[in-house]
Amino acid sequence: MYKIIATTTFGLEAITAKELKALGYEDLVVENGKVTFEGDEMDIAICNIHLRTAERVFIKMAEFKATSFEELFQGTKSVDWGELIPIDGKMHVIGKSVKSQLHSVPDCQGIVKKAVVEKMKEKYNASWFSEEGPVYKIEVSILKDLVTLSVDTSGVGLHKRGYRENAGEAPLKETLAAALVLLTKFDGSRQLIDPFCGSGTIVIEAAMIAKNMAPGLKRNFVSETWPSMDKEIWQQVREGAKAAINSKEFKIQGSDIEGRVLRTAINNAEKAGVSNYVNFQKLPMQSVSSKKKNGLIITNPSYGERLGEVEEIKVLYKEFSAM
């Protein structure tokens, strides 16, 4: 069993924890920007493929106090890295340090890499490593002198679903768009409108949620290449996710005044596999309407000087409140 960390955007921890509970996980430890729990190889696959609001899924390798480079080195070297990383594993170390005596991140990264290599030399009785095999990204995170060592199982961030071509001028991350939809408990039974849909992220994420379509079905993950991860497990999880897609019928409405981004939205919806459940129109926000009495508006409107003049935005928001 592993200690698994699902990292998330600050403020979304409760939503990510709720997702994990819905997937059957218990004994969750919810902290700032992450949720920790126990699981195995199948759970790593499940979380990578199914979680909508998590940013990445890590395996937690160790946690210890360190106020000197020697303590960091020895703490890192005490971990049995060879249990996860093969002799040809390509190791990258990334880091961050907050309110800690060891504040030089590049130095910490170098110490951790050196300690891992020394441990691997002992494990495999080798003097050097080719590092031409599967990738293992090790993260050293130091908060108030508490070191957490973890290995990234996701690779590219989980907000990269595999369907978005171009983000548009003010992109909303897929993970945040999914969080907005999950907060409304949208399930396809009510009308949903996004009058500033841009490249369609909110509309597409809402359709995927209503269809119970796992967000990671159309992409790969770095841990799939690891020898310790059974490829049949990933195949099994993907097949289960495909079988769980429901037969609901609905139409989510997205509109924007920019024809260019709407073309991107249409392409994105097709790539995501939800084009039959969404409708995009070139309309100003003032012309958006619905015959249904009850529904939802979820949107990411213009909100900064970079996107338009302040006075124009003030008028836009006033008109938006009258919808």
pLDDT tens profile 2-37:
999 999 999 999 999 999 999 999 999 999 999 999
Report the CATH number that the domain containing residue 119 is assigned in CATH: 3.30.2130.30
- Residue 29 domain-assigned (yes or no): yes
- Checking if the pLDDT of 278 tops 90, the result is yes
- Residue 229 domain-assigned (yes or no): no
Tell me, yes or no, whether 310 and 198 share the same domain. Answer: yes
Structure tokens at 181: 């939809």
- Checking if the pLDDT of 311 tops 70, the result is no
Tell me, yes or no, whether 181 and 316 share the same domain. Answer: yes
* Rounded-to-integer distance, Cα 111 and Cα 315, Å: 55
* Rounded-to-integer distance, Cα 291 and Cα 155, Å: 44
Closest CA to 64 of 135, 12, 115: 115
- Residue 160 domain-assigned (yes or no): no
Predicted confidence (pLDDT) per residue in 93-122, tens digit:
999 999 999 999 999 999 999 999 999 999
Tell me, yes or no, whether 20 and 108 share the same domain. Answer: yes
Domain count, the chain: 2
* Rounded-to-integer distance, Cα 17 and Cα 22, Å: 9
Tell me, yes or no, whether 129 and 179 share the same domain. Answer: no
Q: What is the mean pLDDT of the chain?
A: 92
In this prediction, residues 264-290 reach a mean pLDDT of 91
Report the CATH number that the domain containing residue 281 is assigned in CATH: 3.40.50.150
Tell me, yes or no, whether 146 and 101 share the same domain. Answer: yes
In this prediction, residues 152-181 reach a mean pLDDT of 88
Tell me, yes or no, whether 207 and 72 share the same domain. Answer: no
Distances (CA, A) of 206 to 49, 211, 293: 17, 9, 20
3 state DSSP class of 222 = helix
* Rounded-to-integer distance, Cα 139 and Cα 151, Å: 6
Instruction: Name beta bridge partners: 37.
Output: 4
Q: How far is CA 1 from the centre of its chain?
A: 22
* Rounded-to-integer distance, Cα 210 and Cα 105, Å: 42
Structure tokens at 198: 């841009």
Compute, in degrees rounded to 10, the torsion defined by CA atoms 176, 251, 169, 313.
-90
Q: Are 139 and 149 in contact (CB under 8 A)?
A: yes
- Checking if the pLDDT of 310 tops 80, the result is no
pLDDT score, position 163: 94
3 state DSSP class of 27 = coil
pLDDT score, position 56: 98
- Checking if the pLDDT of 168 tops 60, the result is no
pLDDT score, position 293: 73
Tell me, yes or no, whether 102 and 208 share the same domain. Answer: no
Tell me, yes or no, whether 135 and 42 share the same domain. Answer: yes
Where does the pLDDT of residue 270 fall: very low under 50, low under 70, confident under 90, or very high at 90 and above? very high
- Residue 224 domain-assigned (yes or no): no
pLDDT score, position 267: 96
Angle at 174 between CA 184 and CA 15, to 5 degrees: 45
Tell me, yes or no, whether 124 and 200 share the same domain. Answer: no
- Checking if the pLDDT of 306 tops 70, the result is no
* Rounded-to-integer distance, Cα 17 and Cα 141, Å: 21
- Residue 161 domain-assigned (yes or no): no
- Residue 219 domain-assigned (yes or no): no
- Checking if the pLDDT of 321 tops 60, the result is no
Q: Which of 51-65, 206-220, 301-315 has the least mean pLDDT?
A: 301-315
Q: 130 or 40: whose pLDDT is higher?
A: 40
- Residue 276 domain-assigned (yes or no): yes
- Residue 67 domain-assigned (yes or no): yes
Tell me, yes or no, whether 181 and 85 share the same domain. Answer: no
Q: 323 or 66: whose pLDDT is higher?
A: 66
Q: 255 or 302: whose pLDDT is higher?
A: 255
- Checking if the pLDDT of 312 tops 80, the result is no
- Which residue range(s) make up the domain with 55? 2-152
Predicted confidence (pLDDT) per residue in 223-245, tens digit:
999 999 999 999 999 999 999 99
pLDDT score, position 316: 63
Question: DSSP string spanning 100-157?
Answer: -S---HHHHHHHHHHHHHHHHHHHHT-S-----SSEEEEEEEEETTEEEEEEESSSS-
In this prediction, residues 128-144 reach a mean pLDDT of 94
Which amino acid is located at 189 in the chain? S
Tell me, yes or no, whether 52 and 121 share the same domain. Answer: yes
Closest CA to 253 of 281, 283, 286, 292: 281
Kindly give, in sequence order, each residue whose CB lies less than 8 Å from that of residue 21, ignoring residues fewer than 6 positions away: 28
In this prediction, residues 133-161 reach a mean pLDDT of 97
* Rounded-to-integer distance, Cα 172 and Cα 252, Å: 18
Tell me, yes or no, whether 204 and 297 share the same domain. Answer: yes
